[in-house]
Amino acid sequence: MDGNTPKNSQNSLYKLYKQRLIDASQLSELQPVAQQFGVAITTAMTGQADPADPDCPVAAQFVPDVRELTVLEQELHDPIGDHEHAPVKGIIHRYPDRVLLTPVYVCPVYCRFCFRREDVGSEPMLSDEELEAALDYIRNDEGIWEVILSGGDPLILSPRRLQNILKKLREIGHVKIIRIHTRVPVVKPGAITAELVTILRAANPVYIVIHTNHAQEFGEAAEDACAALADAGLPLLSQSVLLKGVNNDAKTLESLMRKLVENRIRPYYLHHADQARGTSHFRTTIREGLELTTALRGRLSGLCQPQYVLDIPGGHGKSPLSADWLTETAPGNWEVRDFRGNSHPFVDKDAKNATCAVTGDSDAE
Ligand SMILES: *Cc1c(COP(=O)(O)O)cnc(C)c1O
Ligand code: SF4
C-alpha cells in the first residue's frame, strides 16, 4: 500500500485534470498544496463530481485549493490533541472505556479539511511488531470496552489483514464492541466485497460509522454497498463535518440526513470543523452550526437528527453543542422551546422529592 508521497499526489492532480475537475493553470498552481498535503480521489468520487458545477459539493471536498496555503494563527498541526494521548504507536486513548486503533494511515481519498491531515498518508501502515504492541496495550487495560478502528481508513486494508486484526481483538475478553470509522462504503464502494462483509460479520458486534458530507456522494454502487453491510446485520451510523460551501445550509443537511436514513444509516455526529492548518475556508461559526441544527429539529424526523459536536482543541475530547432548548426560571420551573421556536412552561413536579442519582456509580469519586 502506498503512502501519499508527492509522486502519488502528482498523479492525483493529473487525474483531476483528466476528469476536468481542474484546468491546466491549476495543475501548476496546486503543486505547492500537493507538496504539503496528500491529494487523492477515487473513480467513484470523480463519477459523482460535476465538472460543470463550479460549486460542486463533491469536488470541493477532494480537489485541492490554493487557499490551503493560508494558515491562520489558531490553526494547529494536531488540532484535537491526538499526539498527547498516544501511549504507543497506533493507539489514541482519550476516554477511559474506548481507544482508537489506527492500523493504517492511508485513505482512498484525502479530504481537504481532514483533521488528521498532517498524519494521514505520512506512512502506509503499522508494522507487525507495532500492531502487536498496540494490541498488547489493549490487552493490558481491562477498562477498554470498545476499540475503534480509525486512521487512515481501516477498510482499505487487505481483507486478510483486517480479518487478522479483528480476530485478535475478538480474543480479548474485555473488548466487547468493535467500531470502524470509514469512508470506503461511499467513496470506494467496490471494496465492500462479499468476502469483506463476511469477515466483518464474523467479528460482530461491529458498528460501522460512515463519514459522508453530502447526498451527492451517494451513487448507486454506494447505496448497494451500504445495503450489503446493513443486510449482514452490521449497524450503520454516520459522521459528517459541517463544511462551508459543501453542506452549510438547512436544505442540504436535510437531504443528507434523509439520504442516510433511507440507506439504513443512523446519523450520529455532525462535527464542527476542526482547526486544522489551511482549512479556514471550510469553517463555519458555532453560531451558524447551532442555527442549522435547530432548523433541522423543525424539519426532520428524530431518526434523522445528528448530534452537533466540537472536538475541543488540546485533546479534551468531544462535547455536544446544543442550542438552548431549556431555561430554568425557578427551581423545578422550566421554559422549554419547541421546534418552531415557541416557548412553553414546564413545571417539573417530580423535582420536589427527587434525589440526584447521577453519581450512583460505585467507582464514583
Ligand atoms: C472521537 C474519538 C472517540 C469516539 O468518541 P465517541 O464520542 O464515543 O464517538 C474515541 N477516542 C478518540 C481518541 C476520539 O477522538
Ligand atoms: S477519510 Fe478521514 S482520515 Fe482520511 S482524509 Fe478524510 S477525514 Fe482524513
Give me the pLDDT at residue 360, please.
52
Mutate to test the pocket of ligand 2, among 183, 208, 212 (most ligand atoms within 8 A of CB): 183
Half-sphere exposure at residue 9, Cβ-oriented, CA atoms within 13 angstroms: 24
DSSP code at position 74 = T
Q: What is the pLDDT of residues 12-68, one digit of tens each?
A: 999 999 999 999 999 999 999 999 999 999 999 999 999 999 999 999 999 999 999
Quickly state the pLDDT bin for 1 (edges 50, 70, 90).
low
- Is the pLDDT at 5 greater than 80? The verdict is no
What is the pairing mode between strands 177-182 and 146-149? parallel
Look at residue 365 in the predicted model and tell me its pLDDT.
Answer: 40
Q: Catalytic pick from 56, 65, 107, 308?
A: 107
3-class secondary-structure state, position 177 = strand
Residue having the nearest C-alpha atom to atom 7 of ligand 2: 114
Which of these ranges, 154-163, 217-226, 307-316, has the smallest mean pLDDT?
A: 307-316
Coil, helix or strand for 254? helix
* C-alpha 7 chain-centroid distance: 27
Q: Verify whether residue 95 is a known catalytic residue.
A: yes
State if residue 318 touches ligand 1 by the CB under 6 angstroms criterion: yes
**Ligand 2 environment, Cβ below 6 A:** 107, 110-111, 114, 116, 120, 153, 183, 211
The fourth-level CATH superfamily of domain 6-353 is: Aldolase class I (3.20.20.70)
Per-residue pLDDT of 83-127, as tens digits, reads 989 999 999 999 999 999 999 999 999 999 999 998 887 778 999
pTM of the predicted structure, to 2 decimals: 0.94
Percentage of the chain beyond pLDDT 70 is: 96
Domain boundaries, the chain: 6-353
Q: How many CB atoms lie within 10 A of CB 73?
A: 5
| 226 labelled catalytic | no
Active site residue 98: yes
Is-catalytic flag, 304? no
Ligand nearest to the CA of 274: 2
Helix (H) or strand (E) holding 44: helix 43-48
Mean pLDDT on 63-80: 94
